[in-house]
Structure 1
Amino acid sequence: MTALTVSVPTEQLLDDVRGLLDPALDVELVLWDGQDAPPRDRIDIVVPPYMRQGRMLARLPELACRLVQGQAIGYEGVEERLPAGSAYANATGVHETATAELTVGLLLVAQRGLDRMTRNQDDGVWDNFRAVGLADRRIVMLGYGGVAKAIAERLAPFEVDLVAVASRARDEDGRRVHALDELPALLPDADILVNVLPGGPETHHLIDDRVLSLLPDGALLVNVGRGPTVDTDALVEHVRRGRIRVASDVFDPEPLPADHPLWSLDGVFVSPHVGGNTEAMRPRIAKLVAGQAERLARGEEPVNVVIRT
């Protein structure tokens, strides 16, 4: 019987996955980062590099592949590049906790003025100011998937008023989730808008001048979804006028150019797209890849499949 072949992009991931695999299963691990031609004509599971999978996706027609296992949750732009007869699985279960951690961090930076404290420490300034805080603030959260639920769970102890909004209205986890068409009625009473929406045509520039204009003066926008969900030009204009504050991990364009106004405008905190990039990722992605390999080796279906062609 032919061994199941899995390619991974780094020596570290190869070693980590090898240490988790069931030795009774016939699984071959090969190193391939997509820069050169594939090392085999058939690779059952291809794992692209984290945050840099475009070149590998372009090479997929050169080999037979059953499953592409991404290392991120998002997968916009993948379907049109995936060869027929293959599937794409995302990294659900790997990044939700870390992204929720960062979201809470961004909220605290902005609402407790931690960025201001850092600047004051650099200058040796003792500035005993009163911050806005999180308690009793109304947070409208766009999206109610895995990351959003992890954020909601961590915000509960802060005694905030969390209002979830998603594509359709429903009751879930004991919470009322509002439909997207209800958003205009919810924004005028929001202190904070947290965006956790995925990318794609449906969400492109969803947060535009109209949406931003509905927020009250001084409101905070936190974006841990995707950069293109926000109309950056409109956002810059609102920030420049002092209407909106921003604490964001994702941007459009990205990386944010060094001369972009968001670097220097007051009321902006920039995080360089590191939501899921903590040390927790290493063991979690290895466990996911090893689990997928074992499932396919046993003739079982993989998990987290979001695209089939």
Structure 2
Amino acid sequence: MSQTIWCQWSDIDLPTGFTLLHDEADLLDKSKLEQVNVYVPKYMGGAKSLAYISEMPNLKVVQVLTAGYDDVLPLIPSGVQLANARGLHDLSTAELTLTLALASKAKIQNLIYAQKENTWLRDVRHSIIDAKIAIVGYGSVGQEIAKVFRPFTDHIVGYTRSGSNGTNKIDNLNLELAEYDIVILITPLTDETKGFFDLKKMKSMKPGALLINMARGPVVVTGDLIEALESGWISAAVDVTDPEPLPQGHPLWNAPNLLISPHVGGNSTAFPGRAKKMIAAQMNRLALGEPITNVVKDA
């Protein structure tokens, strides 16, 4: 089976008969759009990369490089498969989650400021050892997050809609939030989860607890988060915001007790190599006539 694939990298190990088109600048020659059968939109390429989908008449498969696909799904034509990258970013997202937790609890920002001021700032460092942690959304990423926190604490509880496989039900979260020192959000963005974590939930958290949003920005109500932070009730760390990118002058930038990373959970030095292997594996399945994995919309 011969296929033409567009991807941002030129060094993908493709099966015999596959043709690779690529442009790291994401400026695909429009004269070649009709040749594309498999399209891998540039990672974090945004609307510009996704706009090509409607101009590919022979497209059969869209393989995104993210686990989330809510922004892509409405653009997929009938007859075209959509596959996500479930599993690709699990470990790197877990790594950043742990980084944000450690930095937030230890108030690393204060130490950086003190260093710039040549101040020998000694204070009791807050630890995550033996912390009680809730992970809201316990799919593959949530489970990987639990693994990286496990050396520090055994008090980790996953929350899912069903409450199956040893997890607690999300419906019970409000009643149990006060038990946790750290609450980590890693749910997909759906109609049900949009605005899910509001001021009521924040005020139900233990005073001084840490909220970490690794899900999607709109899962947390931004105005409520600012209010909770300004009240001093909780601290927070977010890799995602609403709106995103966060515009200059937005009040979230200057909210107290907050650490912001600009949606880089999956964008690490480990990403390109892992992504290339995943793409090559998917193309090998196509070449062998086997179903590709992680299909979230059938043709």
Q: 1:227 to 1:221 in 2, by over 3 A?
A: same
2:240 aligned partner = 250
Offset at 1:158?
0.4
Q: 1:77 to 1:216 in 2, by over 3 A?
A: same
**Residue 3 (str. 1) matches residue 6 (str. 2):** no
Report the count of equivalent residues: 296
Taking the aligned partners of 2:185 and 2:109, their CA distance within structure 1 comes to 21
2:223 aligned partner = 233
Counterpart selection for 2:257 from 255, 262, 267:
267
Taking the aligned partners of 2:162 and 2:106, their CA distance within structure 1 comes to 33
Q: Structure 2: where are the runs of 5+ without partners?
A: none
Provide TM-score, normalisation by structure 1. 0.91
8 Å CA contact 1:239–1:267 kept in 2: the answer is yes
8 Å CA contact 2:132–2:153 kept in 1: the answer is no
Q: 1:78 to 1:122 in 2, by over 3 A?
A: same
8 Å CA contact 2:61–2:82 kept in 1: the answer is yes
What secondary structure is seen at the aligned counterpart in 2 of 1:284? helix
1:64 aligned partner = 58
What secondary structure is seen at the aligned counterpart in 2 of 1:41? helix
- 1:162-173 aligned at under 5 Å gives the runs 162-171=156-165
2:87 aligned partner = 93
**Residue 124 (str. 1) matches residue 118 (str. 2):** yes
8 Å CA contact 1:4–1:27 kept in 2: the answer is yes
What secondary structure is seen at the aligned counterpart in 2 of 1:291? helix
Q: Deviations over 1:165-218 (max 9, x none)?
A: 0111112xxxx2011101111102121110111112121010011211211221
- 1:28-67 aligned at under 5 Å gives the runs 28-31=19-22, 33=26, 37=30, 39-62=32-55, 63-67=57-61
RMSD: 1.7
2:150 aligned partner = 156
Taking the aligned partners of 1:38 and 1:214, their CA distance within structure 2 comes to 57
Offset at 1:118?
1.4
Q: 1:202 to 1:36 in 2, by over 3 A?
A: farther
Offset at 1:53?
4.2
| Counterpart AA for 2:37 | D
Offset at 1:228?
0.6
Taking the aligned partners of 1:55 and 1:264, their CA distance within structure 2 comes to 30
* Greater strand share, structure number: 1
Counterpart selection for 2:171 from 178, 181, 190:
181
1:26 aligned partner = 17
Taking the aligned partners of 2:265 and 2:288, their CA distance within structure 1 comes to 34
Q: Deviations over 1:209-243 (max 9, x none)?
A: 12112112211111111111000001001111111
Offset at 1:75?
0.7
Q: 1:4 to 1:36 in 2, by over 3 A?
A: closer
Q: 1:182 to 1:121 in 2, by over 3 A?
A: same
| Counterpart AA for 1:6 | I
Counterpart selection for 2:135 from 104, 128, 141:
141
8 Å CA contact 2:207–2:233 kept in 1: the answer is yes
8 Å CA contact 2:62–2:82 kept in 1: the answer is yes
Taking the aligned partners of 2:20 and 2:122, their CA distance within structure 1 comes to 57
| Counterpart AA for 1:28 | T
Taking the aligned partners of 2:194 and 2:248, their CA distance within structure 1 comes to 24
Provide the identity percentage: 34
| Counterpart AA for 2:22 | L
2:109 aligned partner = 115
Q: Structure 1: where are the runs of 5+ without partners?
A: none
8 Å CA contact 2:102–2:128 kept in 1: the answer is yes
Counterpart selection for 1:303 from 263, 285, 293:
293
Offset at 1:14?
1.8
Taking the aligned partners of 1:131 and 1:116, their CA distance within structure 2 comes to 11
